[in-house]
Amino acid sequence: MLIVQDLKKRTRSWRTQTDGDRGHYNFQPGIIVMKFGEQLRTSTIKEYEWYYIDYDGLKDDLKTEYITPPTHANPKPKRKGWTEEDEGRFIGRMEQELEKVHTKQKVKAIEIGRRIASAEKEVNEVVSRLDSRGPIGSGTSDDAPTEEEFMMLEEDLSDIIADVHDLAKFVILNYTGFQKIIKKHDKQTEWHLRPVFAARLKAKPFFKENYDADIVKLSKLYDIVRTRGNPVKGDSSAGGSQGSFIRQTTKYWVHPDNVTELKLFILKYLPVLVFNANKEFETKDSAITSIYYDNPEKWDLYEGRLKKTEGAEAIRLRWYGGMDTEQIFVERKTHREDWTGEKSVKARFGIKEKYVNAFMKGELLPAAIFEKARKDGKKPAKAINEDERLAKEVQYSVIKKGYVPVCRSFYNRTAFQLPADARVRISLDTELTMVREDNLDGRKRSGENWRRMDIGIDWPFSQLPAEDVERFPYAVLEVKLQTQAGQEPPEWVRQLISSHLVEAVPKFSKFIHGTATLFPTRIDLLPFWFPQMATDIRKPRTPHFGIQRPEHSTTTTTSDDDDDSEDEEDADDDTAISNGSQQTITSSIRDHRDRLADRDLETRATGNALDIEEQLAAHPLTDDYPLYDSDDEDNESDEIEAARQVGGWPYYSKVLKKHARLAGQHTVSLVHAINPFPKHSDIPREGNGGTLSAFSSGKIETKRFKAPKGKKIHVPVRVEPKVYFAAERTFLAWLEFSIYIGTIAATLLNFGAKPTPMSFAAAGAFSIVAILSLLYSVGIYLYRSQAIRQRKAIKYHDKYGPSILCGILFAAVILNAVFELKDREFI
């Protein structure tokens, strides 16, 4: 990937490798290609200006002396070979750069920690005065905190947040620089430095700093200051029943480069949800692990959840924290279609870890599990009965259908929500990893236990073989909104989901992705987002959005100065996509940076702006075929080749079928070319209202790719009962129309004053139209009915049928009129 700048359109965008040899890029005139060295220079933050990796200097160190001086005839003569002395000198230079970066990161992290501790003391002091002296403006004491004090505290915290953001960007850029210079060294010198220097990076792991603890503290302090000492209080576990989903839910992918910035942005509006505020935050507190069950022979649960069939279930065992947690939750998700009037349900009950194996094998009955709870009386009897009923149903399904552990998902979750308030709930899952839990392929992973015990929460699980683990490259952001009918979500949420920080991937599922990835030889039906994994989701920075320092700050840099901090690949890097994995449709909004840089966000209207998904839905389709090409004809060439080896009629039949299909496609293309159809009009983005023009003024880029060989991509198709009824009504309408035309033909033939050849010709013309209409309607109805049953993503609208029928009918009417006029000798 490279960042390129179009001088004509004044845009910046990520560009993948185009046609040409492997590792080469083709660009039109007027395009500037920005390599990593240039990107590093343009993303420099002033405070860290002298502490970045000297990328250009290290590149120069890789160049040895020329054997002969350059001349006009030979400007680039051969260089001397790389020697052991050169290698020692280069490693020494790398050590100096690593020490410089590590020292700066360590000092800055300590400084930020001290600033947070100082801010915490100041906030606690102000709050104590507020609690003892009364609320602001009560007049009970002159020592009460003023509004100016809270504003100063808010500015100080905003400045600390900006420092955390800048430090995270500094770390990301330098880590990328070390990785790229090592790759360049190994490629040019053919000396392998990566394994050796990896040990040095582990000794000075400046890139492994975790800012979650600082974010939790900053979130708490900022929430207190923002609410002027009166933060929202309530049960942290409240605000939404665990038994049902919130319907307004969308999932997004977040690139690791943007994770820290995203957290810092959200905490300014929502506090980090902490279940136990009296306990010091630990890394394991955010760990969540789930074990998913399925039948490895039929994959019933996988296909049910993928196809979103009515009543599709997912069964999993989940725990929070480390492997020493005793409380395990048995959960069952049940999908309900909207037309049923019911909501999808997530129900669960708790069980001790020591009883899980016996329960899942049927040796421990549900009644025994809840016997102690009934005796204690701490929980209502109705709730215990519901849990027991759920336990019986889960146990019955597992035993009867042969469900076993197949996949584990692990991630660290940061949740943002006001306690006891479910209107806006945001969760961010990082370090997402899927691990095989099955005993297939002759390997005992979990054995007779319900989970494997050779791993815990020690991400990235380096002890596992490559075929057992899938490390998801992005973080997963989930935005849950609970608003009343007609109520708009908060403006900051709309800005967030329209920004460069996120990429919308609706209906993304950890269970589906993990199963499809870890069992490539057993799973043939893939989710629609699966081939998108080869596409870089990073986008140019959204103008006037993100972390900014308060105006009073003495530091001259802001987060906007770090405008293009995303890393990119050098032009000579290998960016070819693996032949074993082909991409599918990818759509994203490429933002213009320079066009809107001089506009102020506050001056725009705050109407109903569109987010990424809405913009894509409003974008006119120019293709007359399904966007996901994953039907059986993908393997047509392979089938013909196999039939050719057999020979005979099987081979000729497949060849004839292929040519017939191509002839049909050419016929449709010809009809499409001669058939007039209205052209769509482009609506200016700036006139669409809201903040659309601020965040997504670039064009929508759409690509169409085939599924991997031997696989199919499942496209979510919503099927309701009214869809079947609509297909039937359409068929009956065509049938009624055919009967009318047939009646006209019979009337002309049987009730004329005197049968003539002209009346026979007119009646025949109408009869042919009626028969063609009837046959066409039957064929379309059967085709649509089969597609609806199989949930295929096809074009359900009839683009040509009505036009052709009207044309034939018009011709028949004209023919009848001409014949009648001739018969009456008017012409």
Q: How many domains does the chain have?
A: 3
Q: Give me the half-sphere count of Cα atoms (radius 13 Å) on the Cβ side of residue 266.
A: 29
Residue 494 sits in a domain whose CATH number is 3.20.100.30
137 to 123, 141, 145: CA distances (angstroms): 18, 9, 9
Q: Are strands 345-352 and 327-334 parallel, antiparallel or unpaired?
A: antiparallel
| Paired tokens of 793 | 């993503």
CB atoms within 10 A of CB 546: 23
Domain boundary among 208, 231, 253: 208
8 A C-beta contact, residue 525 and residue 303: yes
Q: Does the CA dihedral 753-759-760-766 come out positive or negative?
A: negative
* Residue among 338, 304, 299, 311 at smallest CA distance from 791: 304
Q: Please check whether residues 160 and 254 belong to one and the same domain.
A: no
Q: Which residue out of 180, 308, 510, 711 is catalytically annotated?
A: 510
Q: Please check whether residues 751 and 798 belong to one and the same domain.
A: yes
Q: 């050796």: which residue's tokens?
A: 196
Q: Give me the half-sphere count of Cα atoms (radius 13 Å) on the Cβ side of residue 108.
A: 24
Q: What is the pLDDT of residue 278?
A: 63
Q: Please check whether residues 15 and 117 belong to one and the same domain.
A: yes
Q: Please check whether residues 203 and 266 belong to one and the same domain.
A: no
Q: Please check whether residues 146 and 293 belong to one and the same domain.
A: no
Domain boundary among 488, 503, 529: 529
* Residue among 488, 334, 314 at smallest CA distance from 409: 314
8 A C-beta contact, residue 107 and residue 170: no
Q: 């998801």: which residue's tokens?
A: 472
In 7-139, alpha helices (H): 36-42, 55-61, 84-133
| Paired tokens of 260 | 């820290």
In the predicted model, residues of the chain with pLDDT beneath 70 are 1-34, 133-143, 232-247, 275-279, 338-342, 420, 483-487, 551-638, 641, 668, 671-708, 718-719, 751-755, 793, 823, 827
Residue 418 counted as domain residue: yes
* Residue among 163, 158, 279 at smallest CA distance from 211: 163
* Residue among 132, 57, 67 at smallest CA distance from 90: 57
Within 8 A by CB and 6+ apart from 589, the residues are 498, 539, 612, 615, 695, 696, 698, 700
Q: Please check whether residues 201 and 328 belong to one and the same domain.
A: no
Q: What is the pLDDT of residue 817?
A: 78
Residue 360 counted as domain residue: yes
Q: Which domain holds residue 764?
A: 721-823
What are the pLDDT digits (tens) for 504-550? 998 899 999 999 999 988 998 889 888 778 788 888 888 778 777 77
What are the pLDDT digits (tens) for 106-164? 999 999 999 999 999 998 888 888 877 655 555 555 567 788 888 888 888 888 888 98
Run of H or E residues at 164: helix 147-189
Q: Please check whether residues 282 and 167 belong to one and the same domain.
A: no
In 526-648, alpha helices (H): 612-618, 636-646
C-alpha span between 175 and 55 (Å, rounded): 11
- Give the phi and the psi of residue 272 in degrees, each rounded to 5: -65, 130
Q: How many residues does the chain have?
A: 827
* Type of residue at 626: P
Q: Please check whether residues 160 and 265 belong to one and the same domain.
A: no
Residue 784 counted as domain residue: yes
Residue 663 counted as domain residue: no
CB atoms within 10 A of CB 244: 14
Q: Please check whether residues 315 and 463 belong to one and the same domain.
A: yes
745 class by beta-carbon count within 10 Å (0-12 exposed, 13-18 middle, 19+ buried): buried
Residue 765 counted as domain residue: yes
Task: Reply yes or no on whether 679 is catalytic.
Answer: no
Residue 30 counted as domain residue: yes
Q: Please check whether residues 101 and 174 belong to one and the same domain.
A: yes
Q: Which residues pair with 587 in a beta bridge?
A: 702
What are the pLDDT digits (tens) for 29-78? 444 455 777 777 778 888 888 999 998 888 888 888 877 787 777 878 78
Residue 696 counted as domain residue: no
Q: Please check whether residues 41 and 110 belong to one and the same domain.
A: yes
Q: What is the pLDDT of residue 595?
A: 36
Residue 417 counted as domain residue: yes
Q: Please check whether residues 363 and 460 belong to one and the same domain.
A: yes
Domain boundary among 529, 550, 582: 529
